[in-house]
Structures are given as structure tokens and as C-alpha cells.
Amino acid sequence: MPLLLAPAAALAAPATPAEMNLYTRIAAVNACISRSAGIDFDKAVGIAGETIAQLIQGQHQGLIQQVGTKPLTLDELRKGSINSAVIGAYEICPKQVPPEVAKKVQEALSKKPAQPSAPPAPK
């Protein structure tokens, strides 16, 4: 692991939803830039996903608030991070996503349960 991503004791808190959103957005932009430069889609999202995985491993010791208290392995992080990079790329630069991948993302997003709405405000 690169020294820059080595965990710092004070920064070993689980990744928050806001941090995960930021990491995913950065990776998606990276994938979009790579695709615009002619890089193969699988390679582009693979590198973007690896970036997220290494960051979570290094800065948060594999912990993600939304997932629970068990640290994820680097392999688990890679799988989830690549999926996040693919979805992010689909949202940011859909024309750079191969049609067959875009179709799978659309299907996955349509099956995703709706976010619970906020409770009604007290009267």
C-alpha cells in the first residue's frame, strides 16, 4: 500500500456517508476522464474502484458506517468500489458507459428500494 494511504490512528474512524459520496464522485469523475482519453471502460472503472478501495482501507481501515462495525477486506472493498465507480460514471458521463453496462445499471437502479421519506413534521 502506498505510504500516503497508510492509516493514521486519528483518522481510523469509519467512512461516513458523506465521505463515501465524495470518494465515489471522485472515482466516477476519474473514470469519465479516463474514458474521454480513450481508456477501455473496464480498465477505467477498475482503476477508479481501486482508488476508492485503497482510500477506505488506508484512511478508515476498511470501515464504512453504512455497512456495519466489521472492517471489509480489500477484496470486498474492491468489488463494492468498482460497482460504485460504474454507477457514478453512468450518472456523470452516461455516453462514456458501454450500452450493455448502462442497461445493467438501469436495471439495478430500478430495483433499488426507494429511500425512506422523512417523517412528517410535527404540527
| Tens digit of each residue's pLDDT (9 = 90 or more) over 27-86 | 999 999 999 999 999 999 999 999 999 999 999 999 999 998 899 999 999 999 999 999
Band (10; pLDDT cuts 50, 70, 90): low
Tell me the pTM.
0.76
More confident residue, 91 or 3: 91
CA-to-CA dists, residue 33 to 56, 69, 86, angstroms: 22, 34, 13
- Looking at the chain, list the stretches that DSSP marks H as alpha helix, in order from N- to C-terminal side: 17-36, 41-60, 74-92, 99-111
The angle at the Cα of 64, spanning 63 to 67, to the nearest 5 degrees, equals 115
Tell me the Cα Rg of the chain. 16
Band (109; pLDDT cuts 50, 70, 90): confident
First to last CA, the chain: 54
The cell for 47 is 482503476
Question: How confident is the prediction for the chain on average, in pLDDT?
Answer: 86
Taking 70 as the threshold, does the pLDDT of residue 116 lie above it?
Answer: no
Mean predicted confidence (pLDDT) in 81-109: 94
